[in-house]
Structure 1
Amino acid sequence: MAADTFAPDVNGAARFAERLAAGLVARGHEVQIMAPAASRKHGSWMEMHEGQPMMVHRLHSWRWYPHDWLRFALPWIVRRDSRRILDAFRPDVVHFQSHINVGRGVSIEAEARGIRMIGTNHFMPENMVKFSLIPLGFQDRVIKAAWRAARRTFGRAAAVTTPTLRAAQFLKKYTGLREVHAVSCGIDADNYSPNFEPRTENRILFVGRVTGEKQIDVLLQAAALLAPTLKAQIEIVGGGDQKRNLEHLADTLGIRDRVTFTGYVTDDELRAAYSRATVFAMPSIAELQSIATMEAMASGLPVVAANAMALPHLVHDQQNGYLFAPGNAQDLADKLTTVLTATPENLAALKRESLKLIATHDIKRTLNTFECLYRGEPVAVLVADDASTHATD
């Protein structure tokens, strides 16, 4: 499994690769990971992920300073180490997680060796340029070039996947690929504990990277528009380059005493945050699936999310939450108010619907699907975006 981001990185792509690898190891497969080193230390060693041991090849990497934590491996190092690892390990299949440096390099070397490949896309070039030093006038050209590069790399794979139907349509549109499978990242709902006890406070939770595309500023602006009688508390879980700016915005809006920035937390602390929340808010406009939203649903939370990208596949308006117009703080405030003022019966109905909808994203279905793709077997029913959408192969 080749990835440009992997644990200890905290993002959806890294979490997906980690969970998938651990799930495969638990089923008896031998899985090795190739990813940029998270520090200056690089090499190959055994690591434990999600309670499972696996060999991880940490490539010599460099910090990308426009970003708050991202590290990258140089293309010629990726190609060199790919040759060494593939020749030593001799895998039955290579699963690359993006078309950037690691995915591109390993796919070239795997193709030369006749190794079956599966490619998964979690990446949008539009997000990448925000963390680059590329002048604004050249960014459109860079984005188009990135999509052309994606076409070349994913074109080497026997099958291409992405987390949702919306993301699959997006990838086909911009790369020209004819077939892209929508396969949910999957979630183990047993790890989360829905809480149906009566709420004693109104607590709004956001979980994710604290970066520009997440539009957390819209959430803070919406919080400032909420009626003071709601006494709503906002909890922002995650780290990122926008934390200081958002703290300043909370001060400016006069809500700093009601907003908590926790930074990165442990898995146990994260589960506790879901359990004490009343509603989950996801204002992001760039979600190819949103594992955090899935975790919130598995915790039995109603969700208020932007009507953008793949979020409508998780949040069914007026069923397990509400969709708001992207970037519209007033609309977000109105939808949050609807949840926070719901009767206990209506709130419980929203929570039950979140639990019902998340059942279609069971990690076991995701593992079954990828095992079939790895073996080149027909996939009867791919993991769908919701209970009513199915794709067949």
Structure 2
Amino acid sequence: MTFRLLASSPRGEGPFDGAEGEARPLRLLIGTDTYPPDANGTACSAYRLAGALVRRGHDVHVVCPSEQGSPRVERAEGVTVHRLRSVAVPERRIIVPVLLTGTLRGLLRRIAPDVVHVQDHFVVGRALIAVARRLCVPVVATTRFLPHRRRTACELVRTLAWRDLTRVFGRADHVAAPSRAAAELLADQGLTRPVEPVPHGVDLSRFRPREEPKTWARGRLGLPDRDTALFVGRLDAATRLDELLQALRQVCRRADAQVVLVGDGPRRARLESLAGALGIGGRTHFLGSVPEDDLHLAYAAADVFASPKVAGLGAAATLEAMASGLPVVAADAGARTCLVQHGRTGYLYRPGEVPAFASFLTRVLTDGELAATMGAIARTVAATHDHLRSLARIEEIYAGLAQTYGGRVQRLA
């Protein structure tokens, strides 16, 4: 096994800033199997990356499934989005692989990107990597996918899932993992390409402690003025939100508390029914997908961020909560373990142990001084993950690959 974990660049400026600002902007193609209006970590990350790159002066294209089924091209906030024909499957829409290779080949020839950046290794990602290889277009690969590491009766499925991921990403030129733990895990699973931790980072100007009282933000969102635990993310089986609702029932024995869930997904109706069955329906608030411009209000309304999720390589919402000055109570699993310092910025509990989850939430919600101290430290930790720093490193990777390949795809177009 070849294992080379690259160190991130310490520089805060990219190859398109300062004295080197005359370097030409790049034409980039981001490939993803999920994109807004989908509400999940990968869709959100791809959307934010595309927008940030446009604001840095690059020509950015995104290829993804059409959320309506029929194909179309749209221009949204400076990003050209190529939505390909899709079909509905449980929980989402996907592109049928038949004829996809030819469609992507034509798209790459028309766009002639300097670099392709895939956000996963599923339908779009694997097909785009294959086509880019044939056309000699450099490829950067990122994933948030995490086959469960616990040994179960489905161990063979887990092994095959990892083998598939490493095989597909083994054809990329550069693999950028969303955290150091993710980079180490990918390497440990046999990925032979260099793996570099490039965290997505957080916009510290948007996500920050607010001077306004929490009652202000709660009022803006139509929430009661109670101690509030917040979750932001997709409402699916992987997020294990039934544990959060069970914990809330225990918390309410000692605190006037509520849970606010931001996001949507296939488990919403089931969670609403569970909240009613537990007798906490009036203390469980489903806000659905909150617009990007209003997302900071959800963090401003909360006292603690709660995440029972155990899967996934990224922790964008956790980082946003910490940047907003919130302590975090999270399952001791996934990328959150690299951010949450037990007893300093929040608490980590063993996944599935609802009494411990409830105990830590109660401790934070009933001790304002403790919550304020942890939140202040959390903000300090989050400040080391400025998204501009991460974006500059991504630009360096793109520029380096584009220079190495010499724009060959332009001659093929």
Percent of pairs with identical residues: 39
Over aligned residue pairs, what C-alpha RMSD do you find?
A: 2.0
Match of 1:47 among 76, 83, 88: 76
What is the deviation of 1:198? 6.7
Which one is further off, 90-99 or 198-207? 198-207
1:96 aligns with 2:118: yes
Say if 2:229 and 2:306, in contact at 8 Å, map to a contact too.
yes
Could you tell me how far apart the structure 2 residues matched to 1:125 and 1:287 are?
Answer: 8
Match of 1:16 in 2: 45
The offset of 1:125, in angstroms, is 4.3
Number of the residue aligned with 1:355: 379
Structure 2: distance between partners of 1:73 and 1:315: 37
- Cα–Cα, structure 1 residues 227 and 76, in superposed 2: closer, same or farther, change >3 Å? closer
1:146 corresponds in structure 2 to 161
Correspondence 1:33 to 2:38: no
- SS at structure 1 position matched to 2:98: helix
Q: Deviation of residue 270 (structure 1)?
A: 2.7
Q: Following TM superposition, by how much is the alpha carbon of 1:343 offset from its aligned partner in structure 2, in angstroms? A: 4.1
Farther-moved stretch of structure 1 (5-14 vs 221-230): 221-230
Out of 225, 237, 240, the residue aligned to residue 250 of structure 2 is 225
Change (3 A) 1:197 1:334: farther
Q: Residue type of the partner of 2:135?
A: R
What TM-score do you get using the length of structure 2 for normalisation?
Answer: 0.82
The answer on 1:109 being equivalent to 2:131 is yes
Match for residue 197 of structure 2 among 157, 182, 201 = 182
Contact 2:33 2:123 in 1 (8 A): yes
- Mean CA deviation greater in 361-370 or 75-84: 75-84
Q: Quote how far apart the aligned CAs of 1:177 are.
A: 2.8
Cα distance change on mapping 1:230 and 1:60 into 2, 3 Å? same
Instruction: Spell out, residue by residue over 1:144-192, the C-alpha distance to the aligned partner (whole angstroms, 9 max, x if none).
Output: 3332222222111111111112212222233443531111112212112
List per-residue Cα deviations over 1:86-144 (Å, max 9, x = no partner). Answer: 111111111111111111111111111111111111113459xxxxxxxx97x544443
Mean CA deviation greater in 194-203 or 286-295: 194-203
Cα distance in structure 1, aligned partners of 2:147 and 2:350: 23
Q: Give CA-to-partner distance per residue, 1:336-384, whole Å, 9 cap, x none.
A: 111112243x32221111111111221111111111111227xxxxxxx
SS of the residue aligned with 1:115? coil
Partner of 1:386: none
Q: Give 1:130's aligned residue.
A: none
CA contact (8 A) 2:61 2:81 kept: yes
**1:205 and 1:308 mapped to 2: Cα distance?**
18
Distance 1:97 1:4, change over 3 A: same
Query: Once the 2 structures are TM-superposed, how far is the Cα of residue 333 of structure 1 from its aligned partner?
Result: 0.9
Count of matched residue pairs: 360
Query: 2:59 aligns to what SS in structure 1?
Result: coil
Give the corresponding residue for 2:32.
3
Q: More displaced, 334-343 or 108-117?
A: 334-343
Q: For the residues of structure 1 that align with 2:374 and 2:184, how far apart are their CA atoms? A: 29
Q: Structure 1 stretch 8-17 or stretch 190-199: which is displaced more?
A: 190-199
Where in structure 2 are the equivalents of 1:327-366 lying within 5 Å? Answer: 327-344=352-369, 346-366=370-390
Counterparts in 2 of 1:283 and 1:309: CA distance versus 1, 3 Å? same
TM-score (norm: length of structure 1): 0.86
Task: Tell me if the contact between 2:310 and 2:351 (Cα under 8 Å) persists in the aligned partners.
Answer: yes
1:111-130 equivalence runs, <5 A:
111-126=133-148
The aligned counterpart of 2:391 is: 367
Checking the alignment, whether the CA contact within 8 Å between 1:171 and 1:177 is kept in structure 2 is no
User: d(CA) in 2 for partners of 1:299 and 1:228?
Assistant: 27
- Distance in structure 1 (CA, Å) of the matches to 2:85 and 2:146: 24
Which residue is 2:178 aligned to? Answer: 163
Is 1:214 the counterpart of 2:239? The answer is: yes
Which structure ranks higher in relative contact order (CA pairs < 8 Å, sequence separation ≥ 6)?
Answer: 2
For 2:63, the aligned partner's letter is M
SS of alignment partner, residue 224 of structure 1? helix
Whole-angstrom CA distance in 2 between matches of 1:88 and 1:270: 36
Shift of 1:320: 1.3
Task: Tell me: CA distance 1:146–1:347, structure 2 relative to 1, closer, same or farther (3 Å).
Answer: closer
> Compared with structure 1, are the counterparts of its residues 256 and 45 closer, same or farther at alpha carbon in structure 2 (3 Å cutoff)?
closer
Decide whether the 8 Å contact of 2:174 with 2:193 is kept in 1.
no
Please say which of residues 207-216 and 165-174 is displaced more in the overlay. 165-174
Which letter maps to 1:61?
Answer: S
Match of 1:388 in 2: none
For residues 378 and 100 of structure 2, what CA distance do their matches in structure 1 show? Answer: 41
Q: 1:324 and 1:142, CA in 2 relative to 1: closer, same or farther beyond 3 A?
A: closer
Contact 1:208 1:237 in 2 (8 A): yes
Determine the structure 2 residue equivalent to 1:203.
228
- Which residue of the partner structure matches residue 385 of structure 1? none
Cα deviation 1:208-257 (Å, max 9, x = unaligned):
11111111111111111125341111111211111222222222222222
1:382 — aligned with what?
none
Q: 2:108 is matched by which residue type in structure 1? A: L
Amino acid at match of 1:113: L
Q: Secondary structure at the match of 2:132?
A: helix
Maintained 8 Å contact 2:148/2:311: no
Unaligned runs of 5+ in 1: 128-135, 378-393
2:184 corresponds to which letter in structure 1?
Answer: Q
In structure 2, distance between residues paired with 1:125 and 1:194: 35
